[in-house]
Chain A
Amino acid sequence: ETGVTQSPTHLIKTRGQQVTLRCSSQSGHNTVSWYQQALGQGPQFIFQYYREEENGRGNFPPRFSGLQFPNYSSELNVNALELDDSALYLCASSLANRNTEAFFGQGTRLTVV
Chain B
Amino acid sequence: AQSVTQLDSQVPVFEEAPVELRCNYSSSVSVYLFWYVQYPNQGLQLLLKYLSGSTLVESINGFEAEFNKSQTSFHLRKPSVHISDTAEYFCAVRSSIIQGAQKLVFGQGTRLTINP
Q: Which chain A residues have a beta carbon within 8 Å of chain B's beta carbons?
A: 4, 6, 31, 33, 35, 40-45, 48, 55-58, 90, 92, 94, 96-99, 101-107, 109
- Min CB distance, A33 to chain B, in Å? 7
Task: Collect the chain B residues with CB atoms within 8 Å of residue A97's CB.
Answer: 98-99
Complex CA distance for A99 and B8, rounded to whole angstroms: 29
Within 8 Å by CB of A99, from B41, B98, B104, B106, lies B98
- Min CB distance, B101 to chain A, in Å? 2
Find out whether the CB atom of A45 lies under 8 angstroms from the CB atom of B108: no
By beta carbon, the residue of chain A nearest B105 is: A45
- Min CB distance, B42 to chain A, in Å? 6
6 A-B pairs with C-beta separation under 8 A: A33-B101, A33-B103, A43-B104, A55-B101, A92-B44, A104-B45
Q: Which chain B residues have a beta carbon within 8 Å of chain A's beta carbons?
A: 4, 32, 34, 36, 41-46, 49, 51-52, 90, 92, 96, 98-109
By beta carbon, the residue of chain B nearest A103 is: B46
Complex CA distance for A83 and B100, rounded to whole angstroms: 32
Within 8 Å by CB of A48, from B34, B49, B102, B109, lies B102
Find out whether the CB atom of A94 lies under 8 angstroms from the CB atom of B44: no
Find out whether the CB atom of B96 lies under 8 angstroms from the CB atom of A99: yes
The answer to whether residues A101 and B106 also contact, given A42-B90, A43-B90, A56-B100 and a CB cut-off of 8 A, is no
